[in-house]
Chain A
Amino acid sequence: MCVGLSAKVVSVEDGTALIDANGATREVSAGVLDDLEPGDFVMVHAGVAIAKITEDDEAETAGLLEGLL
């Protein structure tokens, strides 16, 4: 139900964050994330940064599977 885009925060000002995804940039709302800083990675949906995230899915999924096998 929700296309998310993981992106890097370039700058933050007045509740608005400039984000960068592979060189595509856009201003998005930082209105529901308080303590964003340049260099953070965020998940963006419909022009709003909805979660702070870690960048890499590989290490995480590897860890999840290891616990099973």
Chain B
Amino acid sequence: MSETTVTLAHGAGGRQTSELIARVFQAHFSNPEFTADDAAVLPQPGGRLAMSTDGFIVSPWKFNGGNIGKLSICGTVNDLSCMGAKPLYMTCGFVIEEGFPLDDLEEIAAAMEKTAAEVGVKIVAGDTKVAGKGQCDGVFITTTGIGQIMEHAHTSGAYAKPGDAVIVSGDVGRHGCTILIARDDFGIGSDVDSDCAPLWGTVERMFEATDQIHVIRDATRGGVGTVLYEIAEQSNVGITLDAPSIPVDPRVKGVCGMLGLEPLYLACEGRLVIFAPQEEAQKLVDALHECPYSRNAAVIGHVTAEHAGRVVMETEIGTQTMLPQPKGELLPRIC
């Protein structure tokens, strides 16, 4: 294959499609279950299964600390992990813009391979479509995963209980901040890097420490703040945060200070929000500190029966205030 970019012919289903699959995808995703047929044939796992799907669009496709390939594996792996499910198999669908460099595509596939290998999840089927120039932005990826739920894991956003401790597995807002810098819309320089990471190993370690875990949710779009409001509503409880104990990287503070943004609402891609009984909290935090992606995990608050559906902040000056509700688009402010 002599071309250096993806062409519409690569998506036409003929020989060139096969060549693309051979060069990029088979080369990186090869495992016994990776199918050349219409569907992957898999052994039947026992017990309860978790299944999840997620689409990935990120501009630029490469950023400090990762790329869309790594992101697309982490996203689905983390969704499964939050249910206490060991990720077993994944599929991935690509929509690639005509003209996208093949070398870049390989870089993306290599990142997917590496991340999947770290977790031990197998990519068993894939699909490639090529969109005309301008019909998509570079490359879009959708991944779907199946995982086997550990017998003693019973987590749900509806299970938070008054008295639970609220734990975050690391500093908040790094991915969102990194993308903001990478887009360069505001002329700000920073070496902040994404927290993008696969968290199955982390969750496995948590369940070794205790199976008394009520909620695990990965904070992605909308950040930790959005997750907290979701859980408060789903479980019909109040959440009180201790503002000074929320870990924020100083580089994120710097960028947020410049643009007037709240780190709790910036996206994460490698952070879990965990609700567990107060007496289990220290065990969990200790376990998290042993794992590579959660060295600065911290208890950031607790669950209350009062003010159900709301998130209250205890501030640095010993007062209480409401965490503003999430509003979607993050806009820099001067006022």
Contacts and interface: CB of A to CB of B under 8 A. Distances in A.
Interface string A7-23: 00000000000001111
A23 B191 contact: yes
A34 to B, nearest CB: 23
Contacts of B257: 5, 21-22, 24
Contacts of B255: 24
Nearest to B335: A1
A27 interface: yes
A27 B187 contact: yes
A2 to B, nearest CB: 6
A26 B258 contact: yes
B250 interface: yes
A54 B260 CA distance: 21
A45 B260 CA distance: 11
A22 B251 contact: yes
B174 to A, nearest CB: 13
Contacts of B251: 22-24
Nearest to B190: A24
Contacts of A44: 258
A46 interface: yes
Interface size class of B (residues with CB under 8 A): 10 to 19
Interface in A1-58: 1-3, 5, 20-27, 44-46
B13 interface: no
Interface string B249-281: 011011101101000000000000000000000
By secondary structure, the A interface counts as: strand
A45 B191 CA distance: 22
Contacts of B186: 26
Interface centre among B251, B258, B260 (most CB of A within 10 A): B258
Contacts of A26: 186-189, 258
Contacts of A23: 190-192, 250-251, 254
B335 A3 contact: yes
Interface centre among A1, A5, A45 (most CB of B within 10 A): A5
Contact of B335 (A2, A5, A22, A25): A2
Contacts of B250: 22-23
B254 A45 contact: no
A20 B335 CA distance: 21
Given A3-B260, A27-B187, A22 B254 contact: yes
A29 B190 CA distance: 19
Nearest to A22: B254
B254 A21 contact: yes
B334 interface: yes
A21 to B, nearest CB: 5
Contacts of A3: 260, 333-335
B189 A24 contact: yes
Nearest to A46: B334
Interface string B173-212: 0000000000000111111100000000000000000000
Contacts of A5: 257-258
B334 A22 contact: no
Contacts of B188: 24-26
Contacts of A20: 254
B317 to A, nearest CB: 13
Interface in B262-305: none
15 contacts: A2-B334, A3-B260, A21-B257, A21-B258, A22-B250, A23-B190, A23-B250, A23-B254, A24-B188, A24-B189, A24-B190, A24-B257, A24-B258, A27-B187, A45-B334
Interface of A: 1-3, 5, 20-27, 44-46
Closest 7 CB pairs of A and B: A22-B254, A24-B254, A25-B189, A23-B251, A24-B255, A21-B254, A24-B190
